[in-house]
Structures are given as structure tokens and as C-alpha cells.
Amino acid sequence: MNKVYKGDFGHIFYQRKNAVIRTTIMGCIILVLFIAGLIIAGSNKNIFSIVAALGCLPMGWSVINLIMYYRAVPLTQSSYDKIKDHAGSLYVIYDLSLTSEKSTFNVGAITVLGKNIAGFTEDENTDIQDCQDHIKHQISLSKYHDYSIKIYRNVDDFCKRLDELEKLRKDHNIDPKELESLWTPGTIQTVPGILKSISL
């Protein structure tokens, strides 16, 4: 199974599979250790049981991780195909699940060009205004201000916005992918970098 990095289409499905495999393996190891301890020692008071009990901690984390990825709403293939046709040379990030204290915002695709942020969600439960406010707050922590942020529910409307931004990119000869690749670790993150870092 080829690795799908955060921000790439299919990341949520990839992480779901990883979480299932990891949790299943951990569960089997814990069960085997516990049963082996019972057979060898004749009771649950043995080193195998202790190791099995300690193994429940990382397995618990893995189960929580699994639940979170299954609650996330990934971008559908049909929407991805449409968006890809309109993205041009824009830097588009896919399958983000942005978490706040009160809610989770599932953003299927989002792009940043200059001080323009445009995103698309297929999650009917996502509060658009809260999502936009959350993004605005998160990027402001790194001193990014006065950004125009718009999250769309209709994929065709989002694609129209991508067309506008692609024209703007061409007119100003901007290469957002190259700008992102030039970021140096240890310096202030780019806005796309922040969006990926605050996502599940």
C-alpha cells in the first residue's frame, strides 16, 4: 500500500486502513500475551498479563485514532475529478479534517493564493461560518491577517472560484507549488502548511 501524505487526495481512506490494521495487530498481540500468561502461570498474575495490560494504552490511542478517521468526511472521487480539471497550477490540499474545541470541520479541498483562501466541503454538518472563522483564527496565530476566506458547499461554485484564482495566478506569474516547496523548517509556516498541521 503506497503511502498517501497529508494533503493528498485519499489521505483519510489511507489512514483508516492503517488504523484498522494497527488496532487489529495490537489487539491480537495483547490477547495472545494474556492467554499465554494464563496457560503458563495458571492465573492472570504474571508478567505476560502486565505486558498485555500496558499494551492496552497504545491500543486505546489507536482505537480513538480509528474512530476519528471514520468520523472524518473524505472528498468523493467525482468531486476530486472535477476539482482537478479546474485546479490548473494552483496548490490544492485535499481531505482535511480541522479540529477545534467545539467542532470538527471537514474540508474536502482548499487552496491558497495570495491572500485568498477558497475551500470546498461535502460535509452537510459543517458550519461554514464557524469553519471560516476557525481558519481565520488559526492563521492569525502566525501573524497572517486580512485574508479572504470562502468555503463552498457546491463543487461547481468552487470550481468557478478555482478558475478565477488560476487566471489571477497566471496574470501575476505566481507558482504556489514552488513557494510551498521553498519553505524552510524552523521558519514561520506558510498558510497551506498551517492548514495541514492543524488537520487530523
pLDDT in tens, 154-200: 999 999 999 999 999 999 999 999 999 999 888 899 999 999 999 98
- Provide the angle, in degrees to the nearest 10, between the axes of the packed helices 11-41 and 47-71: 160
**What pLDDT is attached to residue 146?**
94
Is 3 domain-assigned?
Answer: no
CA distance 152 to 45: 58
Q: What's the confidence (pLDDT) of residue 40?
A: 84
Distances (CA, A) of 161 to 17, 113, 118, 149, 157: 33, 11, 7, 12, 6
Beta strand pairing call for 148-152 and 92-99: unpaired
Same domain, 67 and 44: yes
pLDDT at 151: 98
Same domain? For 33 and 86 the reply is: no
The mean pLDDT value of the chain amounts to 93
> How would residue 142 be classed by pLDDT, with cut points 50, 70 and 90?
very high
- Residue 44 reports pLDDT greater than 70: yes
Higher local confidence (pLDDT), 120 or 33:
120
CA dist 161 and 200 (Å) reads 26
Q: Are 152 and 159 in contact (CB under 8 A)?
A: no
- 39 assigned to some structural domain: yes
Q: How far apart are CA 110 and CA 121, in angstroms?
A: 9
**End position of a domain, from candidates 21, 40, 71:** 71
- Residue after which a domain boundary falls, among 71, 87, 109: 71
Residue 1: inside a domain: no
User: Has residue 89 been placed in a domain?
Assistant: yes
Same domain, 92 and 144: yes
Residue 43 has pLDDT above 80, yes or no: no
Among 83, 81, 79, CA closest to 160: 83
| Residues 92 and 176 reside in one and the same domain | yes
Domain boundary among 30, 56, 71: 71
Pair 142, 188: CB distance under 8 Å: yes
Please state the pTM of the whole predicted model. Answer: 0.87
d(C-alpha 168, C-alpha 8), whole Å: 24
Same domain for 88 and 46, yes or no, is no
Quick one: 166 and 117 in the same domain? Answer: yes
Q: Is there a single domain that holds both residue 48 and residue 90?
A: no
CA 175 to chain centre: 23
Given a cut of 70, is residue 1 above it in pLDDT? no
pLDDT at 197: 93
Residues 65, 81 share a domain: no
pLDDT confidence of residue 53:
86
Regarding whether 111 and 162 lie in a shared domain, the answer is: yes
Is residue 126 situated within a structural domain? yes
3-class DSSP state of 98: strand
Task: Show the domain range for 177.
Answer: 77-197
Task: Give the model confidence (pLDDT) of 59-96 as tens digits.
Answer: 999 999 899 999 999 999 999 999 999 999 999 999 99
Number of domains in the chain: 2
